Amino acid sequence: MATTKRAHLIIGGFPPGSVAGHDMNFARLRLLQNLQTEMSLSVTVANDFQDIERWLPGAGFLITYVAGPYPVGPGNDALLKWLKGGGRWLALHGTSGGKAVKTNRDGLPVKKMVKAEHHQTLGCFFLNHPPLCEFQVRVSGDHPVTRGLPNSFTVQDELYLIELQDPGASHVLLTTELVEDPSPPGFGFVYDEDTSVLPDGKTRVLSYARDIGRGEVVYVGLGHCHIDRLNNASSVDPSINPDGTMPPDFRGVWDHKAFKQLMQNAIAWGTGKS
C-alpha cells in the first residue's frame, strides 16, 4: 500500500448528536492527536456514515469509533468497494454494534442486537459486553498493529463478546479468556446463543485482521470511555470499584501503555507506513 494522503474519521452516537453513553469528544480528540503525528496527512471528520460514499474516494484510511451509527445500503456498498480497492479500515469498539430492538426475556425488558449487512463487511457482530471489569489481553497473532506489544497485559474495559462472520479469513490478533458471560439479568443485550466463544470453550476474540480484496480491516473491541455517568450498582465489577458503583468518568485503556502502542501501530499501518 502506498502512503495515504488523507484519512477519514467517523466518531459519534445515535441518535445524531448523542454521545450514546461514551465520551465521544475525548475519543475524537485522542484519535486526532494520534493522526497529527503524520504531518503530511489530511483528515476529514464525520459523526456517522451518512454520505460516506462522498468521503471515501481519495482517502486511504478510515477510522471509526461509534455507538449506534452504521453504514447501510449505498454506504455499505461504497465501503465494501473501497476496501476491495485497497482501503484500510481501523474499526474500534462499538463499530461492531448497530441496531438493537426491544424485547422481553424472563419477564424483564431487554434489548437484542440485530445482524445487518455491515457486519459481513466488517467481519464481526456484537452480542453483548459484561459490566466493566478487569481482564487479561493476550497477543495472539503477529501483525503490524500488534508489533512491540507485550505477550499479555491487563486492562480495565468493557469486554466485548463478538461473533466472527468469516473465521477462516480472520487473523486473530488479541484474545482473552472467559468461560461464561457474567452479565446479571437485565444487563446489556440478550442473545439466543453465545457464538463469541471459540471451540475451546473459553477464548474470546478481541481483535482481528481480515483481508478484503486489496484492502484490509483491523477491528479492535477495546476502548470504552465515558464522562458524567450516573452511578449504577449493577454496572461494574468489583475489580473496577470495590463498592460496585460506576465511576462517573472512565478512560480505561486509553492511557494504558500497550493500548497507546497499539494505536500508534494502527496509525502507521493505516497510513501505509508499516
Q: Given this model, what pLDDT does residue 231 score?
A: 59
Does residue 252 surpass a pLDDT of 80? yes
Report how far residue 87's alpha carbon sits from residue 57's, in angstroms, rounded to the nearest whole number.
Answer: 10
pLDDT tens-digit profile of 31-59?
Answer: 999 999 887 899 999 999 999 999 999 99
* Percent of the residues in the chain that have a pLDDT greater than 90, as a whole number: 84
Pairing status of strand 133-139 against strand 161-164? unpaired
Q: Given this model, what pLDDT does residue 37 score?
A: 86
CA angle 6, 25, 100 (to 5 degrees): 95
> What's the average model confidence in pLDDT over 82-101?
98
Q: Given this model, what pLDDT does residue 232 score?
A: 55
CA 122 centroid distance within chain:
10
Does residue 77 surpass a pLDDT of 80? yes
Q: Given this model, what pLDDT does residue 234 score?
A: 53
pLDDT tens-digit profile of 12-30?
Answer: 999 999 999 999 999 999 9
Report how far residue 184's alpha carbon sits from residue 49's, in angstroms, rounded to the nearest whole number.
Answer: 33
Q: Given this model, what pLDDT does residue 100 score?
A: 95
pLDDT tens-digit profile of 191-239?
Answer: 999 999 999 999 999 999 999 999 999 999 999 999 988 755 457 888 8
> What's the average model confidence in pLDDT over 75-83?
98
The pLDDT mean for the chain works out to 94
pLDDT tens-digit profile of 92-140?
Answer: 999 999 999 999 988 888 999 999 999 999 999 999 999 999 999 999 9
Q: Given this model, what pLDDT does residue 155 score?
A: 98
pLDDT tens-digit profile of 136-195?
Answer: 999 998 999 999 999 999 999 999 999 999 999 999 999 999 999 999 888 899 999 999
What is the SS3 string spanning the chain? CCCCCEEEEEEEECCCCCCCCCCHHHHHHHHHHHHCCCCCCEEEEECCCCCHHHHCCCCCEEEEEEECCCCCCHHHHHHHHHHHCCCEEEEEHHHHCCCEEEEEECCEEEEEECCCHHHHHHCEEEEECCCEEEEEEEECCCCCCCCCCCCEEEEEECCCEEEECCHHHEEEEEEEECCCCCCCCCCCEECCCCCCECCCCCEEEEEEEEEECCEEEEEECCCCCECCCCCCCCCECCCCCCCCCCCCCECHHHHCHHHHHHHHHHHHHHCCCC
Domains and CATH numbers, the chain: 6-270 (3.40.50.880)
User: Has this prediction a pTM greater than 0.85?
Assistant: yes
> What's the average model confidence in pLDDT over 80-92?
98
